[in-house]
Chains A and B, each alone.
Chain A
Amino acid sequence: MSETPIISFNTVNKWYGDFHVLRNIDLQVKKGERIVICGPSGSGKSTLIRCINRLEEHQQGTIIVDDIELTDDVKNIDSIRLEVGMVFQSFNLFPHMTVLENLIIGQHLVRRLPKRDAEEVAMTYLERVKIADQAIKYPGQLSGGQQQRVAIARSLCMKPKIMLFDEVTSALDPEMVKEVLDVMVDLAQEGMTMLVVTHEMGFARTVADRVIFMDEGQIIEENTPDAFFDNPTSERAQNFIGQVLHHL
């Protein structure tokens, strides 16, 4: 698989007001690649991946996702969001709907699947994240780990080609982190293209093809996980890894 990358950032710049949050980002992601993004707080990791499904707009450079250039064109945005799934730190399940309804709504309204078919798809994914028995509960009745697995299933139901994960385990109690990471490892083994913002080094080492280290809105270092964690070249990365290791 050498052809065109499924995601490509070409000298992308973005500002919040005067604040230069993304600086000259160049990044190519191949189909099926698993990329872990790490870096200190405020370094622009979330902003970077949120540009991929246009939850944020960039101001300079080009971003091309699955051969579609991200512009203000509403049609493009809609089709990109069909290709790209995203899971958030704070789950963001819809609290007024049951788990099953959370999974059906997008398929029904966006993919225009009849409700019954959507329900079937939903149940297969709930089984995959091992939570089918909670289908008729409301999100508020589930533990954090369960909610996050539902959130992953909700994204997968839309049959995306790319999955974005933004610190999906950082709001979880330690004993629930593993159940969520397990689901993500499974997904990686099936060949999903994944961009994962995380500080879980174990996950990065098992799953990632590449680790990208960001600081102050720039990509400072890019390497295989083992090389990156064992022999970081830049001083910033060394400090960062020192701190993360210290915390674990």
Chain B
Amino acid sequence: MDPVNRIFHEEQPPPVRTTGLLAWSKENLFSSWFNIVISILLFWIIYQFVAFVLSWGLINAVWFGETAQACPDSSGACWAFITSRWRLFVYGLYPNDLYWRVNVVYVLAAITIASFVWSFGKSTMRIRMTMFIGFPIAAYIFLIGGFWGLKYITPENFGGLLLTLTIATSGIFGSIPLGLILMLGRTSDLKIYSKVCTVFIEFWRGVPHIVVIVMFVALLPLFVPGGGKVDIVVRAFIAFAAFNSAYMAEVFRGGLQSIPKGQFEASRAIGLSYWKMMGYIILPQAIRNSIPALVNTCISIFKETTIVLLVGFSDFLGIIHLSLETPDWLGPPHISTSGYVFAAMIYFVFTFGMSKYSKRLENRSNVDN
């Protein structure tokens, strides 16, 4: 065979993509008769939906008013119900003159969230740990108080968004460290620890949450001597932290299993003790790998807070529900529709935020690898 001499090709820029709205829609929406029909149908549905949302939610909506009489017309939303009652929805029965204490906690919560969203170079980890540990403590001091001149406020006064957020927060902030401990126990070489933790985890995962809540809130005094002295709302906090710690433990175990055996061996070969190996090498990687699943669990914790309705708590959803039953707001059904739409929007804002956050972390760890 004769030798073949090929021309050396110089590097070339990639072809220019013909984007632009027209080119894009031609390619994606109108490439065939069938696609044209589907696209038009779709546009029509979207148009109808948007038009309805605009006219119902904005144009025909009633924004202000003190009673159901303000909203006689079902062609528009009754946001008056929200605007006249929003304090109740946000602060529950917290004393009026002490709203500032709740506000401080809301601001701290925003700062905590921000510390997890943005990074701060080398000190990122330290700042996040500080907020993660500091926030629940600060929230306790301000919301409940009872010392340093802060008047004691019983958690039974919590309600509305405040209750929803405090239950979710204690569920999330309590279950993460507990879950880590349980996971370490379950994967420990010591058989007894491992057995005890496994039983604990499987128990909480196996019992319906509503049963747990009822047991803690209504029946605790029957089982635990002195259980009646624990504030009823605090019992709900504990219940949420307890059963969610089982889920967190499994989330972390998944992360741990994704760490190659070689990481353990290399750590031991350079002489790290078990705790140093876990603390510096294994857990940082395992936790990082668990984050998407962890955020998912946080989302379900947040949505699940609504089950406290069933033991008579007025969380965010509950307080809207209750307000709709007060004589002032008894009226045509579009009022309650407005209330529930509003509730849905608020829950969505929180859970959507969390899921966006998890997406971002996922993308970032893809880049790292």
Contacts and interface: CB of A to CB of B under 8 A. Distances in A.
Given A105-B280, A109-B280, A140-B369, A94 B263 contact: yes
Interface stretch (A57-65, A80-88, A129-137, A225-233): A80-88
A90 interface: yes
B288 interface: yes
Contacts of B271: 78, 81-82, 106, 110, 158
A94 B103 CA distance: 43
A43 to B, nearest CB: 20
B269 A94 contact: no
A53 interface: yes
B368 interface: yes
Given A109-B276, A140-B368, A92 B266 contact: yes
A106 B284 CA distance: 16
A163 B280 CA distance: 24
Interface residues of B, number: 20
A145 B272 CA distance: 25
B285 A88 contact: no
A119 to B, nearest CB: 15
Interface in B220-249: none
A88 B262 contact: yes
Contacts of A55: 265, 268-269
Contact of A78 (B263, B273, B284): B273
B285 A81 contact: no
Given A96-B288, A140-B369, A158 B270 contact: yes
Contacts of A158: 270-271
A155 B262 contact: no
Contacts of A151: 266
B281 interface: yes
A81 B268 contact: yes
Nearest to B269: A86
A103 to B, nearest CB: 10
B270 A110 contact: yes
Contacts of B266: 86, 88, 92-94, 151
B325 to A, nearest CB: 54
Contacts of A210: none
Nearest to A81: B271
A155 B270 contact: yes
Contacts of A155: 269-270
Interface of B is mostly: helix
A91 B263 CA distance: 9
Given A106-B270, A110-B271, A140-B369, A92 B284 contact: no
Contact of A109 (B260, B265, B272, B284): B272
Contacts of A109: 272, 276, 280
A42 interface: no
Interface in A29-70: 53, 55
A53 B276 CA distance: 18
B291 to A, nearest CB: 13
A95 interface: yes
Given A88-B265, A105-B280, A95 B272 contact: no
Contacts of A138: 368
Nearest to A90: B262
Given A106-B272, A109-B280, A110-B272, A95 B265 contact: no
A154 interface: yes
A94 B259 CA distance: 11
Nearest to B284: A96
Interface centre among A90, A92, A138, A140 (most CB of B within 10 A): A92
Interface centre among B265, B266, B288 (most CB of A within 10 A): B266
Contacts of B285: 94-96
Interface of B: 260, 262-263, 265-273, 276, 280-281, 284-285, 288, 368-369
Interface of A: 53, 55, 78, 81-82, 84-86, 88, 90-96, 105-106, 109-110, 138, 140, 151, 154-155, 158
6 contacts: A55-B265, A86-B266, A95-B285, A105-B272, A109-B276, A138-B368
Given A55-B269, A85-B269, A140-B369, 10 more contacts: A55-B265, A88-B266, A88-B269, A92-B260, A94-B285, A96-B285, A105-B270, A110-B272, A155-B269, A155-B270
